[in-house]
Amino acid sequence: MSQQHTKQPDKGLEAVAANGLLHRRLFLTGSGTLAAGLGLLSATPMAAAPLEIPEWMKAPGSHMRPYGQPSAYENDVQRMVGGTPGVTGSGVSFTPLEKIHGTITPNGLHFERHHSGVPDIDPAQHKLLIHGLVERPLTFTMDALMRYPTVTRIQFLECSGNSGRSNLTAQPQQAPLGALHGLVSCSEWTGIPLSVVLDEAGIKPEGKWVLAEGADAAAMSRSVPLEKIMDDAIIALYQNGERLRPENGYPMRLFLPGYEGNMSVKWLRRLKVNAAPTMTRDETSHYTDVVLGGKAKILTFPMVVKSVITNPSPTMTLGQTGLYEVTGLAWSGAGKITRVEVSADGGATWAEAALTEPVLSKSFTRFRIPWQWSGGPATLLSRAVDETGAMQPTRAQFVGEYGERSNYHNNTIQAWGIAATGEVSNVLA
């Protein structure tokens, strides 16, 4: 006797939260039929006809270039650059997170933070000194360092001032996503484990901290726990397969995975092993976390769990109603991202997003979730959870501890408002 089989509805079509958020399985299945049925596809049906021959097919194209450049049609994908008035060479440039996809930041779009400009360093003359509480003070030339074994890791770098007060004040700042949260990037870093060269120098028992100093005119200096140095710190020589660019520390920089970016000292020239933190200008007058009650936290190194929706995001405008991919980035200085949840109703209900593999430790993780926009107002939020169980705080939780004037370690849940017109803006939630 034949059996009747009833086709079960695809779980991807299931609404798992209010205001149009659908099951993440819809994007995991890759079903074009489902997407078309929900109004995602916008191609215009046409009668069969021969394609016209465009002008660029009628003559040979340009010749090869010694170093590849982006298409001229992508000239708007650039960093946003800002400076400090009255201070030569001091300023920042922001990664345009809303204009790039995947998880790797191209070298030319990596964010920058300089305190006294970019030094022009001749690698043939540059040296690295290791001294202090060591048995054998050592000086390394670039040629000597290039003979050491290297490791390669994909990891993020974030300025502790990233996000600033963009969503803390009563009137949230209106700007593209990159200008609000773009002091963070993710690269493939290649370099020498710092533990190798410090073992060669021989650390004395009383050595517990390392002072790292850069070769810029500001002589940027930060104290780093020896435990971190011996764990996963590297002397970075390459970024995304090519030698470091001057703006990112050429010919060598310290790289401390998961720690605030200022500590990954660029243009590294000196490492001094000490018994205690040096308490330099850059870790006392700056890069401290003021809390309510007139106190401040110092030496707060790890960057905490965080996420942000990159698309849709401010200055964008949604077009027709229907299915959209809500996508963004999540990261944590404590390790891997284990879950990202998205809300389309201002946090009243939440749905779990799909994480794009590979999910790596202390690296960008891209998340995606299908959203059926009805054309009405909506408030999109994302919140990430890392492998320690830590979750992004709400704005109210963060302000309750640090107030609205905090400059550092702002990892609050970011809200984007979608108007009925489709316009996206920075809102409070």
pTM for the complete prediction? 0.93
If one looks up domain 127-288 in CATH, what number appears?
Answer: 3.90.420.10
Residue 42, pLDDT score: 59
Same topology between domain 127-288 and domain 306-427: no
Nearest to 338 by CA among 305, 371, 368, 312: 305
Question: Mapping DSSP to helix (H, G, I), strand (E, B) and coil, where does residue 310 land?
Answer: strand
**Structural domain boundaries of the chain?**
127-288, 306-427
Query: What is d(CA 227, CA 194) in angstroms, rounded to the nearest whole number?
Result: 11
SS3 of 335-387: CCEEEEEEECECCCCCEECEECCCCCCCCCEEEEEEEEECCCCEEEEEEEEEC
Residue 38, pLDDT score: 53
Count Cβ atoms within 10 A of the Cβ of residue 340 and give its class: 0-12 exposed, 13-18 middle, 19 or more buried.
Answer: buried
- The one-digit pLDDT tens for each residue of the chain (429 residues) are 444 444 445 556 788 998 999 999 887 755 554 555 555 555 666 666 678 999 999 999 999 999 999 999 999 999 999 877 667 788 899 999 999 999 999 999 999 999 899 999 999 999 999 999 999 999 999 999 999 999 999 999 999 999 998 888 889 999 999 999 999 999 999 999 999 999 999 999 999 999 999 999 999 999 999 999 999 999 999 999 999 999 999 999 999 999 999 999 999 999 999 999 999 988 888 888 888 888 888 889 999 999 999 999 999 999 999 999 999 999 999 999 999 999 999 999 999 999 999 999 999 999 999 999 999 999 999 999 999 999 999 999 999 988 888 889 999 999 999 999 999 999 998
Strand 415-418's sheet: what is its strand order? 351-352, 337-343, 378-386, 415-418, 424-427
Choose the CATH number for 306-427 among 2.60.40.650, 1.10.10.970, 3.30.70.20, 3.40.50.2300: 2.60.40.650
Question: Mapping DSSP to helix (H, G, I), strand (E, B) and coil, where does residue 243 land?
Answer: strand
> What is each CA distance from 383 to 12, 391, 392, 412, in whole angstroms?
21, 7, 6, 9
Beta bridge partners of 381: 343, 415
> What is each CA distance from 108 to 16, 105, 324, 354, in whole angstroms?
39, 8, 29, 29
SS3 of 391-420: ECCCHHHHHHHHCCCCCCCCCCCCEEEECC
Question: Mapping DSSP to helix (H, G, I), strand (E, B) and coil, where does residue 327 land?
Answer: strand
Whether residue 358 has a cis bond before it, omega within 30° of 0:
yes
Question: Mapping DSSP to helix (H, G, I), strand (E, B) and coil, where does residue 329 land?
Answer: strand
Backbone angles phi, psi at 34, to 5 degrees: -65, -40
Residue 2, pLDDT score: 41
